Amino acid sequence: MASNGCKPRIGITTYLEPTIWGVWERDAALLPRVYLDSVVAAGGTPILLPPVGTDPSILDLLDGLVIAGGCDVDPTSYGAVPHSETVDTRPGRDDHEAVLIRAALEKDLPLLAICRGLQMLNVTLGGTLQQHLPEAVGHDEHRPSPAIFGRTDVKIDPGSLTAELFGDRTTVHCYHHQALDVVADDLHVTARAGDGTVEAAEVKDKAFALGVQWHPEENPDDLRLFTALVAEASRRGTA
């Protein structure tokens, strides 16, 4: 439990998107429910962090942070010219998440970065992205078709937090056409797919700052990442 007797409070970044519900058509902050269910099932309380009014002091109220998946990262944020396949970027969300990532790392707040979240972690720390992965690996298995998750076998480096959670290999749900290219100096790659794609990385010298290229929230039968995040958040809250 967190220090005030509550369950660990896990902030999750959200999307700001044009949305239709009932008779309304407006911009709304939203997040797929699977993220919420995963945090709750792992023993935490989810708190949504919309990409407006960004204030890093909000992290003082949290015990852990999830940087959620979503749209392509704006390539201008890492000094690249947009590829024709890079679409639907949200620079405002990029800026919001970069502020939260830096603040979380400064506080050593437990951090889990998912899919786009891993990409944002890398870019925030000075890395770059492969903007259209099929050009690099020669196949579409990481995003086989619209709204269809792929299955990727991942090999994990021993001695890492990733290995503590998953052993030397695991199979994951994935849906992405971008991936890490130049890896930031402060990141240590801990897992790769068979084609060499970076599938997990950890921030050096941090107890729990882990990014994965896959979507753990899409597998409710495997809560290891969320359970580890909530456990670490709980431990920090009672320290």
| Averaged pLDDT for residues 52-72 | 97
Give the pLDDT of residue 6. 84
Q: Which residues are catalytic, by number? A: 115, 215, 217
Alpha-carbon span 49 to 145, nearest angstrom: 29
Task: Find, among 68, 33, 75, 32, the residue nearest to 51 by Cα.
Answer: 68
Give the pLDDT of residue 4. 59
Alpha-carbon span 69 to 82, nearest angstrom: 20
Query: Which amino acid would we find at residue 126?
Result: G
For residue 192 the two structure tokens come to: 């790769």
Task: Find, among 176, 218, 208, the residue nearest to 193 by Cα.
Answer: 176
| Confidence band of 1 (pLDDT split at 50, 70, 90) | very low
For residue 100 the two structure tokens come to: 């939260």
* pTM as predicted: 0.95
Alpha-carbon span 5 to 2, nearest angstrom: 6
Query: Which amino acid would we find at residue 105?
Result: L
* Res. 117: pLDDT tops 90: yes
* Res. 159: pLDDT tops 90: yes
- Among left, alpha and beta (phi > 0; psi -120 to 50; other), residue 22 is left
What are the structural domains of the chain?
9-238 (3.40.50.880)
% of the chain residues with pLDDT over 70: 97
33-53 pLDDT tens trace: 999 999 999 999 999 999 999
**Count of beta carbons in the 10 Å neighbourhood of residue 40:** 15
Task: Find, among 35, 39, 33, 32, the residue nearest to 15 by Cα.
Answer: 32
For residue 204 the two structure tokens come to: 């050096």
Beta bridge partners of 13: 49
Task: Output Rg (C-alpha) for the chain, integer angstroms.
Answer: 17
Give the pLDDT of residue 2. 60
Alpha-carbon span 65 to 145, nearest angstrom: 30
| Averaged pLDDT for residues 152-170 | 97
67-88 pLDDT tens trace: 999 999 999 999 999 999 999 9
Q: What is the mean pLDDT of the chain?
A: 95
User: Are the C-beta atoms of residues 207 and 232 closer than 8 Å to each other?
Assistant: yes
| Averaged pLDDT for residues 92-96 | 97
